[in-house]
Structures are given as C-alpha cells and as structure tokens.
Structure 1
Amino acid sequence: MIGCLLIHGFTGSPFEVEPLANYFRSQTDWVVVSPTLPGHGEKDSLRGITFQQWIDTAEEHLKQLLERCDTIYLIGFSMGGVLAGYLATKYKVDKLVLLSAAIQYIHPLQMVKDIREMMTDLYRGKLLQNELFIRYSKKVKTTPLLASLEFRKLVQHLKPSFEHVSIPTIILQGKLDGMVPYKTADTIYQLIRSDEKQVRLMENSKHLICHGEDRDDVIHTVYRFLIN
C-alpha cells in the first residue's frame, strides 16, 4: 500500500496543499494524510509553540504511515518542505516532493513588486480585493514574534540535513514567489545528494503554488513524478 504525507507551511493549514491531497484521493487508493501542525489551522494559536513540536507532529504522522504502508511519498510546502527534507533523511521514504521549500525566505525584488501592486490597488480603492493583501494581512497581525523566531530556528536547525537527502526528489518553485526566492530551488538542487533529482519553475506562480495559475501543471507534474 502507498502512503502519502503532505505537510503545510508556517502560519498555514492543510488548505495550502489541499488541491494535491484531493487529487490523490480522487485518482488513487493511496492513504493520504495532511495533518495540521501545532498552533496552526483555522483557530491558530502559535503563542508558546516551539519548532520541535512541529517536527514531532510531522514525524509522528510519518511513523503512523510507515506502520500501514510499504511505499511512502513525502510532500512538503514552504516550512513543510523543510520538515519533509529532514524526515526523508531519517526514515524510509521512497520519493520526496518539495514545494516552495523555505530553506531561504523573503525574495526582496518580488516583495517590492507585490507591495507596488498593493499600493496601486490602494490608490484605486481596490486594496481589500487584492489577493496577497487578503492572505497575509491577517497573518502579519496575528503571528507572535516568538513564533516567527521559532520558524527561523527550525530552518537553521534542519537545513543541513538536506545534504543527506539521497532519494528521488522533485523541487517545484514559483517564479513570482515573494516569500521564498525562486533561486532557492537551485540551492536545494545543489545541496541534495540524490542521483534522481529535478527542478521545475512555475512561471506564473507565487508562494501558494498549489493555488496559483499553474495549479493544474503543479498537480500533474507531481503526480507523474510519483507514479513513474
């Protein structure tokens, strides 16, 4: 039996990888698991949460899948990609998918463009309709500083593990990502030791790569990689 674990990003929820999870559930008989990390989800409360709790939760779900399945696919988005890369070096994982993996973060040039877009919409009286503003304004207001520091500590703690990734891996990155510089994909490609690895840049995608303009291409690219 095949098990597939999808891990969402910092301040996010399983919604971030939901299009992939739903596609797998409709097209396969895989055991598909997409947990909510501590402090996240609809009623998120990150205050007092440590990065080790995120690691422990993802690890526990992977262990449960390993007990049920003989083939494991691991998919991580953003911070979830950092967790997935780390777990792929500790356990018997067959294939690894990294989506906008945040081993580096904040693309300054794209962020300037996004801010200009928001300022233009503000001038036109359309700021409240701006997708990026809607998505991140709440997060900026409600994310405790200490939680952001825990995220940074997680990246610093787990990034070195990528040098030990040796399984087949595909790296997908949005070219318009304002959170993770798109060149991060090449950095990861150089870091990992796998003999079977590839990078796909999605020309029209921002950070939420599973919900962007290239959504269908992302889904089909990941699915083909996993089944071949």
Structure 2
Amino acid sequence: MPVLPGAEPYRREGGETGVLLCHGFTGSPQSLRPWAAYLAERGHTVSLPLLPGHGTRWEDMRLTGWQDWYAEVDRELRNLRDRCTRVFVGGLSMGATLALRLAAKHGEGVAGVLVVNPANKVHGLSAYTLPVSRHLVRTAPGIVGDIAKEGAVEIGYDRVPLHAAHSLRNFFRLADGELPQVTQPLLLLRSAQDHTVPAADSARILSRVSSTDVTEIVLEQSYHVATLDHDADRIFEQSIGFIDRLATGVGREGTTARG
C-alpha cells in the first residue's frame, strides 16, 4: 500500500549524537518532520520511522498492534546505537510513551528522553468497553489534527480502528508499570490546552519515573500536536539545548526544573 504523501519516514546521517523520534497513534512522521529536520541541521544523526500500519489507510492499522509499533522503534534505536556514541529518544503522544519504554528497557543505551504531550492512558468511558466493542464496531472517529495554528495540518487517519485502540490501551498499562525504570534525564513539554491527552497523563509520568534530572515546560499557545503548532520553535530550541547540555556533560545533576 503506497505511503501517503508527506508521511514518509525521515532519516539523516550526522555526527556522533543520534536522536530517535517516534510519532503518535494514527499519525505519521509528518507531525515530527520539522523537529527532526531542525536536529539534523544542527549536525545530529536523526531517525524518524513510520510505524507499522500507519501512513497508508486505517484498514492497514487494524492488522497491527503495540508489539509491532514498539519493535519498529526498538530496531531503529539499536541501529542508531551501532553508529553513534550516544542516542536520545523522543516522541509525541503515544510516540512519547514508546520513547519512555525504550528508555526503561535500554537503560544506559539511552542518554536522555524528550517527550511532547505524552500519553499514559486511553481516556473516557468507551475505553472500558474496548475489549467487547472492538468485535462489534470496527472504528471510531479520528483523533488527529488538534492544532491551534491556523492552516497547520496533521497527516493521519480520520478513523481509529478499535482493535488497534484496544492494543494501545494494553500498551499504556504495560508502559506505566515500567516508568520507575526510567532513570535518564527527561525533558517533558506539555500544552496548557490539549484536547487529546489531559495534563493528568504528564503528571502521572512525572510522578512515576525515577529520573532526577527533569525539566517540565508548559506550552501556552499550542494544542496537542505542538510540534506543528505555535510553540514548535520553542520545542526545537529546548530540545537542542537539552541534548547539547548532556552530550557535552555540562549541566546540573539531580535537579527538577519547571518552566
């Protein structure tokens, strides 16, 4: 099945520091491409893969689950580790959760974690009916496109396959249990107004990780897909500062910042 124009994976070779970025549920690399390009332009080796079942048509996603999505980013991380002296992981929404699990599982193989509007739970009463409803109804309305900036568009599906949503729910439960294994420096950026993922998810993550070097930044002008929104430049600038501080070994240890 052909990939939707603009949804292609993005990879650029650069220096000894690698960055793996993970896109969100039913989305595509397009939502993170400006972030990836910004990091690549500053000399880093960057990988932004297309998750299985994404970037084509929603019917293809029905045949995939969290194990497929995680396996893809795990493989990309291992490839980056073979070529780079240090690797950072990051992502948006579910992609942020994938990044956190990579950090939990790979330990010192991940130098730091950058997450934007991380998701921790499938919310709403309908989440509890997914084990049954996914056998009765194939899809629900799509969740992409929560952007405040006029004219900005996210490439993704207008339908959510409920089999995939059920798998996502199971993944969030698994990843939540592994959060205490995350010890790496963490940069978390969340939107003050997010119509897809509530602030409670970020609070839950911050309360459960074991990281001591933590920075939380609130984005006042953006909705969920903040990487395409008014605060995108701030995300990019904070990310490069975070990566360069850790890559050069200059900075604070054992602190928590809020901004």
Structure-1 separation of matches of 2:54 and 2:92: 14
2:209 to 192, 208, 224: 192
1:59 to 50, 63, 74: 74
Residue 75, structure 1, aligned to residue 75, structure 2: no
Structure-2 separation of matches of 1:190 and 1:47: 33
Residue 41, structure 1, aligned to residue 59, structure 2: no
Structure-2 separation of matches of 1:50 and 1:73: 24
Amino acid at match of 2:104: T
Which stretch shifts more, 217-226 or 31-40? 217-226
> Could you tell me whether the CA contact under 8 Å between 2:20 and 2:88 is conserved in 1?
yes
Give CA deviations for 1:115-147 in whole Å, capped at 9, x if unaligned: xxxxxxxxxxxxxxx979x769x734x322111
Give CA deviations for 1:76-111 in whole Å, capped at 9, x if unaligned: 111111111011022110010011111135599xxx
1:172 to 166, 185, 189: 189
Structure-1 separation of matches of 2:92 and 2:124: 17
Counterpart for residue 112 of structure 2: 95
Question: Which secondary structure state, in structure 2, belongs to the residue aligned with residue 143 of structure 1?
Answer: strand
Question: Which secondary structure state, in structure 1, belongs to the residue aligned with residue 91 of structure 2?
Answer: strand
Counterpart for residue 139 of structure 1: 157
> Could you tell me whether the CA contact under 8 Å between 1:170 and 1:225 is conserved in 2?
yes
Cα offset, 1:173, TM superposition: 0.6
1:216 to 233, 240, 252: 233
Counterpart for residue 219 of structure 2: 202
Structure-1 separation of matches of 2:154 and 2:215: 30
Cα offset, 1:156, TM superposition: 1.2
Counterpart for residue 119 of structure 1: none
> Could you tell me whether the CA contact under 8 Å between 2:19 and 2:89 is conserved in 1?
yes
Give CA deviations for 1:14-48 in whole Å, capped at 9, x if unaligned: 111111101011122x2100000000014452021
Counterpart for residue 34 of structure 2: 19
Cα offset, 1:149, TM superposition: 1.1
> Could you tell me whether the CA contact under 8 Å between 1:9 and 1:78 is conserved in 2?
yes
Structure-1 separation of matches of 2:51 and 2:243: 24
Structure-1 separation of matches of 2:173 and 2:110: 23
Amino acid at match of 2:212: D
Structure-1 separation of matches of 2:56 and 2:189: 26
Taking a change above 3 Å as real, the CA distance of residues 135 and 97 of structure 1, as seen in their structure-2 partners, is closer
Question: Which secondary structure state, in structure 1, belongs to the residue aligned with residue 67 of structure 2?
Answer: helix
Amino acid at match of 2:65: T
Counterpart for residue 123 of structure 1: none
The answer for unaligned runs of 5 or more in structure 1 is 109-129
Taking a change above 3 Å as real, the CA distance of residues 83 and 152 of structure 1, as seen in their structure-2 partners, is same
> Could you tell me whether the CA contact under 8 Å between 2:30 and 2:154 is conserved in 1?
no
Superposition CA RMSD, Å: 2.2
Structure-2 separation of matches of 1:107 and 1:179: 11
Counterpart for residue 6 of structure 1: 21
Structure-2 separation of matches of 1:7 and 1:193: 22
Structure-2 separation of matches of 1:72 and 1:135: 27
2:175 to 158, 163, 175: 158
Alignment TM-score, normalising by the size of structure 2: 0.73
Q: How many percent identity over aligned positions?
A: 28
